[in-house]
Structure 1
Amino acid sequence: MSTLNFDLDTAIDTLAEQGWIVIPHALPAALTAALRESCLAVWEEGLFHEAATGRADGQARRAEIRSDSVLWLDQVAERPAVAAYNAAMDDVMRGVNRGLYLGLAELESHFAVYPEGAFYKKHLDRFRDDDARTLTTVFYLNEGWPKDAGGQIRLYLDDECQEFVDIEPEAGTLVLFLSDCFWHEVLPARQQRLSVTGWYRRRGNSVPW
């Protein structure tokens, strides 16, 4: 039985129309809380690493571009909350493939922790030399996020990056958007900010990490 708290067919229709969607309360509150607890537990264990930009041999830590830390979910896949999240996102992938014929084959995703003051400057999620990343996913874990705490994802809706929508990083909110179409950034967070960020990929050569 699916754990999705929303109508997937309606979400797919919105994706087809505008290329992005914001879904509040997308997963059960208990699963969201368990994911948050798992994220904080592995953060306290020191398993995260500072996030880099680029891919393969071109990866580098550039603190002027991004200042978050990440942990890939395949490193903690045995945790029940992570397994349940992956199962729910598999349901999303099957639905998107059925409705939009995107040929998605896998989801790569990580916990992301933004300490106070952390940010991620404007960027696209698709690499110049690898078009496998197709649909970006962001799932927030921040319960009771204050309106003045920053940390929104700013999704630019036009090629000139003049029109945008700011999405609050409130627990349970799922954001989906086409990876090659939307520039976006994470505004500076004024307190610790937690999420699960991922990319549905088409079949092709795996990215070496």
Structure 2
Amino acid sequence: MTVLQFDLDAVLDALADKGWVVIPHALPASLVQNLRDTCLSVWQQGLFHEAATGRATGQARRAEIRSDSVLWLDQVAAEPAVQAYNAAMDDIMHAVNRGLYLGLAELESHFAVYPAGAFYKKHLDRFQDDDARTLTTVFYLNEGWPQGAGGQIRLYLDDACSEYLDIEPEAGTLVLFLSDRFWHEVLPARQQRLSVTGWYRRRTDRVL
């Protein structure tokens, strides 16, 4: 039985119409808290690493571009909260494939911790040499995020990046958008900011 707390058809309509959607209270509060507890536990164990940009041999830490730290969920796949989250995200993937025919095959995702002052400059989520990433997912774990604390994702809505939407990183909010279409950035956070960030990937036969 799904734990999704929203109308999947309405989400599919929004993705088809705009290419993005913001869903408050997407998952049960108990699951959000369990994910937060898991994230903080592995953070305190020192299991995260500083996030890099690029891929393969071009991957490097560039602190002027991003200053968060990450831990891939497959490293903590046995945690009950991670299993429940992955099951919920599978439900979304199957619905998107049925309704929008995107050919999604898997989800890669990680916990992301932004310490106070951390940010991620404007970027696209699809690599130039790898077009598998299709739909970006961001799920927030910050209960009672205060106004003025920063840390919003700024989603640019047009090609010129002149129109944008700032999305508060409030616990339980799920953001979905097409990975190759929307430039976005994470504004500097004034306190620790937690999320689960991921990408639904489609199958690709491209040989690099």
TM over 0.5: yes
Tell whether 2:140 aligns with 1:140.
yes
Q: Percent identity?
A: 82
Are residues 1:42 and 2:47 paired? no
Partner of 1:120: 120
Deviations 1:130-162 (A, max 9, x none): 000000000000000001100000000000100
2:163: which partner in 1?
163
Q: Distance in 1 between matches of 2:2 and 2:21?
A: 20
Give the C-alpha shift of residue 16 in structure 1: 0.3
Instruction: State the alpha-carbon separation in 2 of the partners of residues 74 and 132 from structure 1.
Output: 18
Within a 5 Å distance, the mapping from 1:171-186 to structure 2 comes to: 171-186=171-186
1:50-65 mapped onto 2 (5 Å cutoff): 50-65=50-65
**Structure 2 residues not aligned, in runs of 5+:** none
The residue aligned with 2:78 is 78
Amino acid at match of 2:102: L
Mapped to 1, the partners of 2:203 and 2:47 lie a distance apart of 29
- State the shift of 1:203 in Å: 1.0
* Whole-Å separation in 2 of the counterparts to 1:30 and 1:135: 26
For the residue of structure 2 that corresponds to 1:127, the secondary structure is coil
Structure 1: give runs of 5+ residues left out of the alignment.
none
Paired residues, what number?
A: 206
**In 1, Cα distance between equivalents of 2:66 and 2:93:** 28
1:168-206 Cα shifts (integer Å, max 9, x gaps): 000000000000000000000000000000000001379
- With normalisation by structure 1, the TM-score equals 0.98
In structure 1, how many angstroms separate the alpha carbons of the residues matched to 2:184 and 2:147? Answer: 20
Please name the residue that 1:22 is paired with. 22
Match of 1:6 in 2: 6
Q: Structure 2 CA distance, aligned partners of 1:33 and 1:22?
A: 20
